[in-house]
Amino acid sequence: MRKISAHFIFPVSQPPIKNGILILDDENKISDLIDPKNTNIDSIANLEFYNGIIVPGFVNTHCHLELSYLKNLVPVNLKLHGFIEFLVNNRNTGIEKAESCINLALNELKKNGIVAIGDISNTNITFSCKTNSSIYFHTFIECFGINPSDANKRFNNSVNLLNELQKQNLNGSLVPHAPYSLSKKLFNLIFEINSNNKNAIVSIHNQEGEEENNLFKTKSGAIYNALIKIGANKSYYTITDKNSLESIIQYLPSKINTILVHNTFSNFEDFNIAENYFENLFWCICPNSNLYIENALPDITLMNNICKNITIGTDSLASNRELSILSEIITISKNFPEIKFETILKWATLNGSFALNIDNKFGSFDVGKKPGVNLIQNFDFDKMTVSENSSIKVLA
């Protein structure tokens, strides 16, 4: 049993507790959370006190672990169309180091206090690493293909990959890549497999690039041109006169957990359309990745005012310098100081656990959970938020 305290404990499911005391059992499950206002703390023996604040383990709702070997290889600010072209042309560069890079990334994730991850997979290269990891994974088997004649083949390949994942006792679901990268036929095949499974979770990249909306509105723009350049046929795309999200929303099940990722160029109308369509919607933001690729950020203040559930992801080391949820929190806090740290912390913990259907174990300091325990050091107590010097230490 451990008794851990700090200047503040943020349980997330309730307000912060000044000088609170977290009691862990021998399995690091929460057995009690004590408010010193109601207890004589002088009577508590073997108390560990830390300078800083204590928060639950982080939930990273969007990562591409299998792309870890591309760290420092992708130039910054390529925009999405340039990023797509780079990956298509350089996907195998350094791939011989993939497995060792994945293990390094796993160690980084763990060191940075991340306890659960929604991870995108196009191959099986991460499966064995996940089996042996203490981190919880929900693997999104990502499917794409704009040519309708290839839809059945691509779908079946992804189903086989999902079956392989599940045979290793790993959780996962089959998901579409992005609005612009699937034919209607392929969207429908994925829709059918997920709409009949109440435990499925859908994740899709959404409005990550500025030109994504133009592709659907006018059948033009940099992303459209990039896709044609790498082999897509012009006939595969039709003008909808709508933004990308509204153009494909009917191909996404409305009743199961759905994670829209990035949303860098989503607007007021997009937010409201999606909020009204989905019953269990989560907006995942990956700010450091957005700055890396587009040098832009979503309107997170507007999102916070409209969207019920926001979560945080790191994206991959192909588009981020590190896999750190704390770093993402610092970026959000720096660029949107009007949003309270307590709100952002909920995005990084409890909301993420709801998105991945693991809130029975992760996300908050509720009795019986085993959410992980992180210490944030160099916290700005005057402003009650993180600073650029804030760092993380995993306590349990």
- Residue range 192-205, pLDDT digits in tens: 999 989 899 999 99
* pLDDT of res. 273: 99
Q: Which domain holds residue 297?
A: 58-355
* pLDDT of res. 198: 86
Q: Across the chain, what does the average pLDDT equal?
A: 97
In a domain, 186, yes or no: yes
Indicate the Cα dihedral angle 395, 30, 312, 98, nearest 10°: 60
The verdict on 208 and 328 lying in the same domain is yes
* pLDDT of res. 44: 83
% of the chain beyond a pLDDT of 70: 99
In a domain, 215, yes or no: yes
| Rounded alpha-carbon distances, angstroms, from residue 206 to 1, 28, 301 | 44, 37, 18
> For residue 207, is pLDDT > 90?
yes
* 10 within 8 A of 3, measured Cβ to Cβ: no
> For residue 13, is pLDDT > 80?
yes
175 sits in the region (left: phi over 0; alpha: psi -120 to 50; else beta) called: beta
Name which residue leads in pLDDT, 39 or 255. 255
Please compute the mean of the pLDDT values over residues 64-84 and round it to a whole number.
97
Residue 49 tokens read as 């006190």
* pLDDT of res. 3: 96
In a domain, 361, yes or no: no
Model pLDDT for residues 357-368, shown as the tens digit of each residue? 999 999 999 999
* pLDDT of res. 346: 99
User: Where residue 41 sits, what CATH number does that domain have?
Assistant: 2.30.40.10
> For residue 102, is pLDDT > 90?
yes
* pLDDT of res. 249: 99
The verdict on 12 and 89 lying in the same domain is no
* pLDDT of res. 378: 99
User: Where residue 310 sits, what CATH number does that domain have?
Assistant: 3.20.20.140
pLDDT tier for residue 91 given thresholds of 50, 70 and 90:
confident
Model pLDDT for residues 319-335, shown as the tens digit of each residue? 999 999 999 999 999 99
Please compute the mean of the pLDDT values over residues 129-145 and round it to a whole number.
98
Enter the pTM of the model. Answer: 0.98
Residue 145's φ and ψ, nearest 5 degrees, are 155, 115
* pLDDT of res. 148: 97
% of the chain beyond a pLDDT of 90: 96
Model pLDDT for residues 139-180, shown as the tens digit of each residue? 999 999 999 999 999 999 999 999 999 999 999 999 999 999
The verdict on 323 and 377 lying in the same domain is no
In a domain, 25, yes or no: yes
How many structural domains are present in the chain? Answer: 2
pLDDT tier for residue 27 given thresholds of 50, 70 and 90:
very high
* pLDDT of res. 196: 86
Residue 107 neighbours by CB distance under 10 Å: 12
The verdict on 179 and 45 lying in the same domain is no
In a domain, 362, yes or no: no
The verdict on 77 and 52 lying in the same domain is no
The verdict on 134 and 34 lying in the same domain is no
> For residue 35, is pLDDT > 90?
yes
CA neighbor of 365 nearest in space, from 373, 354, 377, 357: 373
The verdict on 224 and 164 lying in the same domain is yes
Please compute the mean of the pLDDT values over residues 273-282 and round it to a whole number.
99
The verdict on 130 and 45 lying in the same domain is no
The verdict on 25 and 114 lying in the same domain is no
The verdict on 79 and 95 lying in the same domain is yes
* pLDDT of res. 40: 72
* pLDDT of res. 310: 99
In a domain, 363, yes or no: no
The verdict on 72 and 107 lying in the same domain is yes
Those residues with Cβ within 8 angstroms of residue 228's Cβ, 6 or more apart along the chain or in another chain: 234
CA–CA separation, 156 and 38 (whole Å) = 59
The verdict on 10 and 40 lying in the same domain is yes
Count H helices and E strands in the chain, helices first: 14, 15
